[in-house]
Amino acid sequence: MSSNSSAKKVTALYARTSTSMQASGLDAQIRALRRYCSQTNITDYVIYEDDGISGAKASRPALDRMMKDVEDGKIDKVVVYSFSRYARSTTHLLKALEIFKSLDVAFVSITENIDTNTPLGVAVFSIISAISHYAKLNIMQSSCTLSQ
């Protein structure tokens, strides 16, 4: 067992805006994330915020720090205001959800009311994954058909 397994894990709160002119949007997200923590009795959390960075970018300073903390076993739950604040790309979101699942890290999206610790959250994640897989297979089949 790693030395991090005995350390107390915290909840990661992730907020992002696309432009630095959306500072009030960042503040509003953080208020909503803190309110969620208050309502669910979460007292140990760390806020990761990327201000003025597109969600289309898979690599962002705060997001990268958070994912390293997830991989280092410091995080037990990631909470976002909405899926779009985490990623604009379904592929990027699904990759992150797979990482979270493999490391037993819960994922919560407040706006979509999705929590991967609940049966409904697991079902929604499974449906999103299945649709993504179907789309990938369709693209592969189309590519094979076009190349013949």
pLDDT tens digits, 43-52: 999 999 999 8
pLDDT band for position 34 (cuts 50, 70, 90): very high
CATH of the domain at 134: 3.40.50.1390
Q: How many domains, the chain?
A: 1
Does 1 score more than 60 pLDDT?
Answer: no
Catalytic residue of the set 18, 24, 84, 132: 18
CB distance 86 to 48 below 8 Å: no
Please say if 18 is a catalytic residue.
yes
pTM: predicted TM-score of the whole model, two decimal places: 0.79
The confidence score (pLDDT) of residue 116 equals: 85
Closest CA to 18 of 73, 45, 46, 56: 56
Tokens of 113: 């009311």
42 lies in which domain range? 3-147
The confidence score (pLDDT) of residue 128 equals: 73
